[in-house]
A and B are shown apart, each in its own frame.
Chain A
């Protein structure tokens, strides 16, 4: 038998309501490795890690750490045993500085006070030691996601974590930030730390991990050396079958102009010009992809188009009508669909049922409402149809949406926004943090809409997604379109990357072709 640093043996977790989250799961770690834990949303990865981190108690099974059996009753226990976790949703106090977040709960003291100088010194010291650069005195709220993640990692390391669990750490990062994270992780590995890397992005797993454990439907499918398996094999282990995720693309049949953004400028409240004389148009029957590193004006552009912010300079027309005088409700009454970036905040009402969430964009239409009361029979039928066609895994239409896994939650949002035959669809990061299977279904639906003559605007940080779906691609950099490609053939991520980083720029004439 090999000498494992940690061994979780025959772990089962059955919740009070009878849901089996883990069934006889086996998982082990060797010292100094990066171990990827992969599987679809809802495969039981999170539950297993919650058990390891002491947030949940296993129903049965044993955990052996450094050769000794352990049982954690709280995260505090797990931390004391040298286990640290970086949650997908950061556990940071936004108004605190980086240093204050790192020393929270273990403050250095000077008399009755917290020794701030010592806190800053300590932060700088470990930041240097682990090569994770953060500004100790910066207020967390003002920092980009990548830095917040570093603070989280430092928080765990500061508490003596030797085993570091990272829950989908790349879901919120840009490609550049991801590369940097990988460098940092490799560095930590060399210093003797063991890393559990939860993800469902196969190329990343292939790149960073030494071994892979695949989970499916609450069970472990297998554990392999990363070097011994191909991406395709990993994918089929995750899905349980070979899955074809290619999209067949019919030739683009351009119709009338569906979305027109005309000379839009926007200055935010800090006086920064976020969008500069921004113009493009999308014709019906095509997907217009916008690629770009986050924070280059994408969010503001979408907010202006969906009336979350008010437009002051320029004009935006959706389906031919200017939205200047329209209210959000008026836009909603046109054949318009919008898949927001943040599904939990904007896409769904978590406590409400799938049925109610499915109709929340048109509950007042004749289809579901007789002016006073809602027709629940029709709503249930409608939801049932969508649950089937989008393969939403749930106990039925009454299931609260907040209890679904991320991928299924997103399917509910997409189903709502796409099932009323929109003529205009704005999709903002439609498959972020969504597993391969769900992403494929969502991609297929978007392409179906395009083929039916919908004008689709796709804003995504996932370049492979942009390249896969788009008919034309524009690159956004510092509030401007800096490149426009009227076809995606021969285009690759590296090429786009040069424009995204502002290293190259198309001629004005080529950029102007974004208005079609």
Chain B
């Protein structure tokens, strides 16, 4: 137990919480943005995977991490665009559309990975680029807190900005009003001349944008390569976080952080020599527990009405 405590109460552990929460934050903001407009995007997982591959591949091709990031975003948004095109304009069921993107991403990335790296597992043979870490002056020098907050990948800081951006967008801007109105009562939006399809398309594209960042972080920050299905359920965990956060950007960010803690814990505990298969289930158990608590609460609430 002592070894456990020594492991937890270190700057390294807290640093790792932020690191593993980063992709969850991006994905869960993507979930909030789409769900609030009434288009539940279950393809977060697939979009992130596409972005992760595109980021790795194009940073290798162009030799530039920045161009890699740009392409990651571009591809994720394009995937969201495809989904919007079929589900909003051609009325495919949005869940089916999401499943299609997820399967396409899972198989497609392996296919292109083989073409590019002649390997069906990872891209370690390709010298791809990594986005830089940022040391914050002054704050970085503060003992204990400094090493926790400073020195993260640039996208970790972007993730925090993404949360604030999402909150500001939804709460303060006309577009945010339109997204919320369309999600809550389409007819109301329609009756004042707001195009429902256009607004929902924007929601899905924004969701794709978030996945672009999240995916890029996976292959160009979290690790420096692409491996098959490397997003490993983070898109789904984000959906859970969004549901528990009641679609509120800040609430969702808080629950994402909670899942981040669970994830960091499973990483840290693995070094203690506990059975690794069991330890790896911690984040997923946390998801299950979280969803159970959430649904019990929602059920109680609905019964009281």
**Does the CB pair B184–A105 fall under 8 Å?**
no
Which chain A positions have C-beta within 8 A of B178? 104-105
Give chain B nearest CB distance to A83 CB in angstroms: 12
Which chain A positions have C-beta within 8 A of B305? 269
Candidate in B173, B176, B188, B189 with the most chain A CB atoms within 10 angstroms: B188
What are the 6 A-B residue pairs with the smallest beta carbon separation, nearest first? A105-B192, A76-B193, A113-B172, A91-B188, A107-B174, A91-B191
Which chain B positions have C-beta within 8 A of A159? 192
Candidates B168, B177, B189; contact of A100 at CB < 8 Å: B177
Tell me the number of A-to-B contacts counted with CB atoms below 8 Å: 63
With both beta carbons as reference points, the residue of chain A lying nearest to B185 in the complex is identified as A93
With both beta carbons as reference points, the residue of chain B lying nearest to A110 in the complex is identified as B172
Candidate in A93, A94, A159 with the most chain B CB atoms within 10 angstroms: A93
Query: 19 A-B pairs, CB-CB below 8 angstroms?
Result: A89-B187, A91-B188, A91-B190, A91-B192, A92-B185, A92-B188, A93-B189, A94-B184, A104-B181, A105-B189, A105-B193, A112-B172, A112-B173, A113-B168, A114-B172, A114-B174, A155-B192, A269-B304, A269-B305
With both beta carbons as reference points, the residue of chain B lying nearest to A74 in the complex is identified as B193
CB proximity to A under 8 Å, residues B167-218 = 168, 172-174, 176-178, 180-181, 184-185, 187-194
Contact surface of B with A, Cβ cutoff 8 Å: 168, 172-174, 176-178, 180-181, 184-185, 187-194, 304-305
Query: Is A79 on the interface with B (CB-CB < 8 A)?
Result: yes
Give chain B nearest CB distance to A359 CB in angstroms: 29
Which chain B positions have C-beta within 8 A of A186? none
Which chain B positions have C-beta within 8 A of A92? 185, 188
Give chain B nearest CB distance to A73 CB in angstroms: 12
| Bound Cα distance A251, B174 (Å) | 64
Given A113-B172, A269-B305, are A93 and B180 neighbors across the interface (CB < 8 Å)? yes
Candidate in B168, B173, B174 with the most chain A CB atoms within 10 angstroms: B174
Candidates A89, A106, A269; contact of B192 at CB < 8 Å: A106
**Does the CB pair A75–B193 fall under 8 Å?**
yes
With both beta carbons as reference points, the residue of chain B lying nearest to A155 in the complex is identified as B192
Bitwise, A102-125 to B at CB < 8 A (1) or not (0) is 001111010011100000000000
Helix, strand, loop or mixed for chain A's interface? Answer: loop
| Bound Cα distance A306, B181 (Å) | 34
Query: Is A87 on the interface with B (CB-CB < 8 A)?
Result: yes
Bitwise, A338-378 to B at CB < 8 A (1) or not (0) is 00000000000000000000000000000000000000000
**Does the CB pair A114–B181 fall under 8 Å?**
no
Give chain B nearest CB distance to A275 CB in angstroms: 17
Given A91-B185, A159-B192, are A104 and B177 neighbors across the interface (CB < 8 Å)? yes
Give chain B nearest CB distance to A392 CB in angstroms: 28
Which chain A positions have C-beta within 8 A of B181? 93, 96, 104
| Bound Cα distance A269, B301 (Å) | 10
| Bound Cα distance A87, B168 (Å) | 32
Which chain A positions have C-beta within 8 A of B168? 113
With both beta carbons as reference points, the residue of chain B lying nearest to A89 in the complex is identified as B187
Which chain B positions have C-beta within 8 A of A59? none
| Bound Cα distance A75, B192 (Å) | 8
Query: Is A3 on the interface with B (CB-CB < 8 A)?
Result: no
Candidate in A79, A104, A269 with the most chain B CB atoms within 10 angstroms: A104
| Bound Cα distance A89, B192 (Å) | 15
Given A79-B193, A104-B194, are A114 and B188 neighbors across the interface (CB < 8 Å)? no
Candidates A79, A104, A106, A112; contact of B188 at CB < 8 Å: A104
With both beta carbons as reference points, the residue of chain A lying nearest to B305 in the complex is identified as A269
With both beta carbons as reference points, the residue of chain B lying nearest to A159 in the complex is identified as B192
